[in-house]
Amino acid sequence: MSRRKEAAKEERAKERARKRGKRRASRRNIPYLAWKHLTRNQQEVAKRILAGDYQTIQHGGWGFLDKFLIFLKTVGFLECLDVSGEGYARRMITVAKLLLTYQVKILMGISSMNQVPQLLFGDVGLLMMLGYTAEQIENGHCKRGKGKRNRPLYKDTLADALDRFSPKELEGILNGGVKLLAKLGFIKDTTFLLDATDLLTTEKCKGAGRKTVGKQVWSRKEQRLVEIAVTTHGFKIHILRSLDSRIIVAAKVTQIQESEQNWTLPLIEQAIENIGHDTIKLLVIDRGYLDGLTLWTLKHTYHIDWIIPAKTSMAVTKDARGLREAEDPKRIFRQGRKDLKVVGLVGLISYDQYGDKEHQKKDFNSKNFKGNPINAIMVTCWKGKDYAPGHEKVFLTSLGVSKPLSILDKYDLRSLIENETNRELKQGWLINKIPKKTDRAVTAHAILTMCMYNFTNAYRSELGQELSEEGIRRFRIETSCRTRSEVVVFAGEYYGIFDIQELMILLGKPPQSFTRGFDPVAFKKEHGIT
């Protein structure tokens, strides 16, 4: 080979290397706005239909989804998805687009990644709304993986993506969304609920925790309840939720065996960062978070009142039960209604661990030790049945207890987080249907699901009381039923949603009669049709 040919070959190789470098650099620096989000414009699309200048027509499907995507865009949530993606060395698709696609998968209630090609990637109209081009929908983002139905991308790309985000990046998405909702006035609550729910996996899940607990089962052989050891694997989701707006203002994903006690204050710090100081006035807490130092800090550092059940084994519980029949008009208050009786108890001092860090260093067994006073309420009758002595329900609180019924009513609100959040997240939002058996994928799936839970609740609040009381499953069904006659028309950078009757008018083939309530004259006038 001549020297000239060798030089030319080297130059071509250098040029190819420069082009590869440019492509890699461009992939690393693509902002979320690089992917196109179509704009809804009914009038413009109508004009293009009349002129025959449109690309495709798709069944309307969900109906509310286009409005919901616009809602996310309007409030600024799409910007929260613009994270770096620390685990990505190269990108064929922007991170924001991947995340939004996965969140739409969550929103549609798709339980398995195997359903994604048919239910999500099979909806061309929806993909175009998400910013996929016709070329990407037809041929995919790259030529690799032929035969894997990789249009617009291989289904496992979504699952693999979740494994590439750090917990910090994911928490930032949740926090960013909560800050937006708080700023826009969706969170006006002063009472908040704190609870945890287990997310069970198998022992093969990478990073899953393990715990063994006793469980009572009926023994046929012994004809009685016996206790057996049950081992479970998985994770635990700690949730701090506003009462009325149902917004999760803080959340942590930990291994299943980790104690709830360690996470109350980190959740409070996260919530304060998201919704501001002095927003949380009352915290209703699950028993698992019971810790004397934590409760003291909530009241005396953060100025947050709280209500929490006491444990049966605690000395303060025994002391409270011992005062069932006592009479002291300054310290003991009794209230009842129909089938319910409650006693308020002021200034109990037998909760040794209730105090600050210096208090924790004291010798609790010393004769000179004196505990800090704490209030409690005790339920002696529930649903017309008296609790036997020593079996009364006891709740600790930093609030005044002169009206103990009001304290019990406030604590009963905690059931809302179990039914409206924990159960809804599992049964309606399928938060337990993890896409991949790794700790990062589980965390990502959980946090992105909670984001959609938050914004759907915020969105539904604008629709009115009727929809605000419905779960996501019923909401999905009813919305779909209402929009069966609608189609989505894509024309360049715009799209429009039309009733099938409207579309036939625009195509010059109107039906001979119209459904009740539809005004063809008004429609023609609005769109300039003669």
Over residues 95-136, the pLDDT tens digits come to: 888 899 999 999 888 888 888 888 888 777 778 778 777 777
In a domain, 334, yes or no: yes
Q: Give the HSE-up count for residue 407: Cα atoms under 13 Å, Cβ half-sphere.
A: 32
CA distance 180 to 80: 9
Instruction: Find out whether 351 and 374 touch, Cβ atoms under 8 Å.
Output: yes
Tokens of 218: 């009926």
pLDDT at 130: 80
- Cα 462 from Cα 451, distance rounded (Å): 17
Given 384, 413, 442, the domain boundary residue is 413
Query: Using an 8 Å Cβ cutoff, are 490 and 40 in contact?
Result: no
Neighbouring CB atoms inside 10 A of 240's CB total 25
* Model confidence at 149: pLDDT above 60: no
- The whole domain housing 400 covers 304-413
Please say whether the beta carbons of 101 and 130 come within 8 A.
yes
Residue 13 domain-assigned (yes or no): yes
Where does the pLDDT of residue 92 fall: very low under 50, low under 70, confident under 90, or very high at 90 and above?
A: low
Give the count of alpha carbons within 13 A of 50, CB side only. Answer: 14
How many domains in the chain?
Answer: 2
Residue carrying structure tokens 């501001």: 276
The pLDDT, as a whole number, for residue 90 is 57
Average the pLDDT over each of 211-220, 272-281, 401-410, 486-495 and give the range with the smallest value: 486-495
Higher pLDDT, 153 or 210: 210
Q: Is 213 helix (H, G, I), strand (E, B) or coil?
A: strand
In which band, very low, low, confident or very high, does the pLDDT at 467 lie, cut at 50, 70 and 90?
Answer: very low
Do you find a cis peptide bond into 373, omega within 30 degrees of 0?
A: no
Q: Counting Cβ atoms within 10 Å, is residue 387 exposed (0-12), middle (13-18) or buried (19+)?
A: middle
Indicate the pLDDT class of residue 500, thresholds 50, 70 and 90: confident
- Global pTM reads 0.78
The whole-number pLDDT of residue 20 equals 59
Please give the residue that has the higher pLDDT: either 515 or 286: 286
Could you tell me if residue 150 is inside a domain?
no
Give a yes or no: residue 367 inside a domain. Answer: yes
Strands 305-309 vs 282-285: parallel, antiparallel or unpaired: parallel
**308 domain-assigned:** yes
Positive/negative CA dihedral, 5, 9, 12, 14: negative
Rounded Cα distance between 499 and 496, Å, is 10
Of 205, 194, 198, the C-alpha closest to 236 is 198
Residues in the chain, overall count: 530
pLDDT in tens, 215-250: 888 888 888 888 888 899 999 999 999 999 999 999
358 compared with 82, residue with greater pLDDT: 358
For β-strands 374-382 and 393-397, DSSP reports them as antiparallel
Average pLDDT, the chain: 84
Domain boundary among 370, 392, 413: 413
pLDDT at 63: 54
Q: Assess whether pLDDT exceeds 60 at residue 35.
A: no
Does the pLDDT value for residue 50 go beyond 80?
yes
Taking residues 45-54, report their average pLDDT: 89
Domain assignment present for 405: yes
What is the per-residue pLDDT for 7? 66
Which of 358, 389, 413 corresponds to the end of one domain? 413
In percent, how much of the chain has pLDDT > 90? 46
At residue 198, the pLDDT reads 94
Is a pLDDT exceeding 90 seen at residue 287?
yes
Residue 4 confidence (pLDDT) = 67
Residue 466's pLDDT is: 35
Would residue 528 count as lying in a domain? no
**Number of Cβ atoms within 10 Å of the Cβ of 347:** 12
Position 392 scores a pLDDT of: 96
Tokens of 307: 């209500």
Conformation bin of residue 338: beta by default, left when phi > 0, alpha when psi is -120 to 50: left
Position 4 in a domain: yes
At 185-219, the pLDDT tens digits run 899 999 999 999 999 999 999 999 999 988 888 88
Q: Which residues pair with 252 in a beta bridge?
A: 238
Contacts of 93 (CB under 8 A, 6+ apart): 35, 141, 153, 157
What pLDDT is attached to residue 526? 84
Residue 315's pLDDT band (boundaries 50, 70, 90)? very high
How much is the average pLDDT of 512-530?
A: 82
Beta-bridge mates of residue 235: 199, 255
| DSSP conformational letter for 419 | I
Looking at residue 34, its pLDDT comes to 30
Q: What is the pLDDT of residue 270?
A: 98
What is the per-residue pLDDT for 2? 63
Query: Alpha helices, DSSP H only, in 108-235?
Result: 116-119, 124-129, 134-139, 155-162, 167-183
